[in-house]
Structure 1
Amino acid sequence: MEHRLAAVLAADMVGYSRLMEADERGTIERLRTHRIELIDPSIAKNQGRIIKTTGDGMLVEFQSVADAVRCAAEIQQRMRRRNADVPEERRIQFRVGINLGDIIFDEGDIYGEGVNVAARLEQLAEAGGICVTQAVYDQVGDRLGLTFESLGTRSFKNMSRQLPVWRVVLDEEARARKSEAGEQRPVVKPTIAVMPFTNMSGETEQEFFSDGLTEDIITELSRRHELFVISRNSTFVYKGRSANLREVARDLGAQYIVEGSVRKAGDNLRVTVQLIDTATDAHIWAEKYDRKLDDVFALQDEVTAAIVATLPGRVEAAQRDLIGRKTPSSLAAYECVLAAKVLHHRSTRADNAEAQKLIARAVQLDPDYAHARAWRGCILGQSWVYGWCEDKDAVLEEVVSELERALVLDDNDADVHRILAAINVGTNDLVRARYHQERALALNPNYDLVVVQQGELFTWLGAAEEGVQWIRKAMRLNPHHPERFWSHLGKAYFNGRQYAEAIEAFMHLTAMDAIQHAYVAAAYTWMGDTTAGAAHGARIREVDPEFSLDTLLASLHYAKSEDQAHLVDGLERAGIVQRPEALAQGAS
């Protein structure tokens, strides 16, 4: 047996027996998912060692008290965010106790009073909470940026002495207390209210459709973390009332109002929707959707998807007009993020440098703004991809650090997972990229940037036909989609050996970079049009005089070697690139 001082973390699941009785298989699967995605990786990252597990708990040893507390806080904070959209009766929550004491190690297990105290502390903790001993508090203090609250001196079962106990005040509680004290967060997101859609048909059964459509739009818009969406309970107060929109906006505190109507004529249904700026009464966007009333639920899903894919972009465009009249020094965190996005999408070195300044200011204004940190990772990632940085390794490390921080702050932000997927594609880790991409899609299935990236990922994985379908879906979801969607579509068609369709897609671009010209050149060559292929080969040199085979290969992330060889072969036949002999033999 070995005695040594160690930090012990004891955790158990709240209401385990009740959850197992209600849904045994579902509870086990959800618990397994939390362990695989969150709990075990956090323990490993913080140098912990799992001593043993039970059905509803575990015992973990750490050599550092700070690592134990950091690990517990990360798990509890992220579990709160994971549970945000889960009904209370189905939530998986943990209680955690941490002690620093003398531990007996024997044949892979641990014993002693140090372990017993940790177990008793865990029983004192509230659901989702953490309790620690005085020894832990003395060691950690304010080093981790956490707030502690004294629970006084407590007695423990089968222990003669009493011990001072502290609880960790997690981020959400700390923010709430600051808010109560009058401190305001700098993130002010645009607020949008979706009014109950009007049933113009005069048929009672259509009332269910119009109400259901309104509720679905509210639910789906709430997935977008860059918007603050007024709840259904607040907006449905105005159902059936003739209300002045300015008064409604004032009562609800809404900058933007969505209103619409549903009209049935025979087997046809028309849904109209409009977005109104409440400050000016201006109609920012309006659209109508004419559909056949074959399956009312499928129709409701289709119209909801179309509306929620377009609305955030229209709100963002309106916000851009507002901040265009402000100086950067006066912008708050949300506005800095928005302005940085605009610059990022221009995809030039100078604009990227300015975007980095704005996004850094957003993070400085609110260090806990997950969306800002995710976009800082994205903007730095753009400089890494295009080589607009001196030390690529250092920048990549910073990108990963920002995205990991964003993930800790908000595991339910689709943008965080979308950008993590993109970065992992850039490092050719397609397995990890697929995990984050599927998580982003589950969080926001109607987000056009997530949907198009799903198509892009399928293209890299060698499933070109599925890639085309997803990219086309993103284009339907957002008719105002960024021009680069056409580039993704062209690459997917090329990988599927549909050369004419690939060329047609690339021709939608107002300007092509060297890589895009390379795809078009290869497509023409495979079609037998060597003249057109050579013409695009010449354009490659004009756009990028330094273009080489290495430049091309660095931009490719194909899972299958034959897909990469397919593009390179086309360019080689056109005389645009020449493979080294070793690479040529490998391809053959």
Structure 2
Amino acid sequence: MNLADSGAKGSGARVPTAGDAIASRVYVVLFADAVDFSKRTHRDELSASQAMHAAFGLIEREVDRCGGRILNRTGDGVVAAFESAVTGTRCAIEIQKRFEDIRREKSGESFEFRIGMSMGEIIEIDGNAFGDSINIAARIERLTPAGSVWMSSTLYEAVRSRSEFGFEYVGPFSLKNIAEPADVYRVYDGSAAVTLRPANRERLGEAAIAGREYPAPGKKPSIAVLPFQNQSGDGEHDFFADGVTEDIIRNLTRFRGLNVIARGSSFAFRGSALPLSELGMQIGARYIVRGSIRPAGSRVRVSVALDDTQLQHSVWSERYDKPLEDIFAIQDEITELAVAAMAVRVEAAERERLTALPPRSIDAYGLVLRGQAKTLEFTAQANGEALQLYRRALILAPDYARALAALSRAHSLNWRYGWGEDPRAGLDLATRYAMDAVAADPNDARGHGELGFVQLYRHEHSRSIASYERALLINPNDANIIAEYADVLTHSGRAGDALAHFDRAMRLNPLYPDQYLWDRAGALMLLRRFEEAIQQIHAMVNPAQGRRILAVCYAHLGQLEAAEREAALIRAEHPGFSVDEWARVIPEQTGEGMRLFVSGLRLAGL
């Protein structure tokens, strides 16, 4: 769908006259566009036209139900406007959910849509709509993956505090005719879905940047590996390309001579068109690794380049053409060559091969990657789907350590949040799978990390600390493991020690997820640094997830009106919330810490 930059009604810009009726006001703009309409029309014009007619009918009914109106409809797209930011955002999510339900019930008969959104002034002249907000929504839509909703930072600011939505920062993008790179966010149904996803703090003000007083990082060279491009033209290979990228990042983190930017931050810059120097500054890395993958029959072609962002030149590049089954050897070779290109001096002991054992089937590898994407959604349904994917992977590769570790985390979440058919058994199952992961591959840091995670919630604090310390010996630069280790220290009566580890995790992962701030706020709360803890929660992209900590901190500061407000919101979101039940979940080792938390919740009125 191509609309002129001059407005939403076709490609020809009409010159306004003195007699035109002109109206102007701020609206939320929804720009929806069908995926592969031309391709389906070429295959079967009648079927495609019927499917598009039905899809338009669905969109128009949802827009009307939400109190919006259609500004324009052309070949394969729709532009709609809403007076309410919340209602417009909810409508976009519901449209995508309805299409997903139809595809599930009718085996993919419906089109998939991309939805881009923005907010700003629209000028209407005799029924024709004009405005930058329409153009921006259209340009964001072109970046958006099928089935998703992405929005401008202006709209994000208007709805970010609503707990019914979750937001993921997907990076700065250069939009046509927009001078500065624009921050763009993906919106989800529910804020819990994105607690572990990357987040940009720069737009949230000085208090949002937790590391502003941290000591400067050391002189180790920093490196970021951007998502490899899938050049096959087949979306099914996207997970494979992402998996190769993740394994290269994981391999690089084993070298103590490198500061490796975490996966979440690197993936936020997918498809970025920023100049090399600007990219390096925003992601915090001097060296950038970029690559592409093109599967061709039984072979795979991989191109890799290592660039110096400060000197703006290529340090090293290589191309590979190998049988697909050798992909794991290719990843190892890329890692070794990248390190050599940067002349990193690494001791022989640190060069020891610690690569997690690859599965006997690449199919299992793909299933685990899909499962991990589901686990990050943080909902009961998504977690259940992840469990099924991990189990399928283990049927193909019974001793696959990554699948066993992932299965452990999914069962831990079932236990913690009361999900699944038998959540009480979740912790025992999580323990078993974590131990199986360590046994299957003792050199995989993730298995030790998962074992530490379940040991924490079994109140085996000393064992949990030992497991995380073993994981960090194997993978010393894994930002997520560092942050989880800091959280264990917090719950073990060592909140003061934990802060330095949270700081290090944030330096290695500059686009750190909300979970880091959430857990760091918990440490500050236990240290009775209540004002700082409140600042940390408000720095979250989805601050609604930190309401329990806010209620406790406000209560202990004597700000009971604010504490009661947070308590009311907690009850509204979780009608069955029980302080006693939550106290049984919190893995606090010290009685003093538990009393601080429970007394604060009760003072707030819970």
Highest RCO, 1 vs 2 (Cα 8 Å, sep ≥ 6)? 2
Q: Radius of gyration: which is bigger?
A: 1
When normalised by structure 1's length, the TM-score is 0.45
When normalised by structure 2's length, the TM-score is 0.44
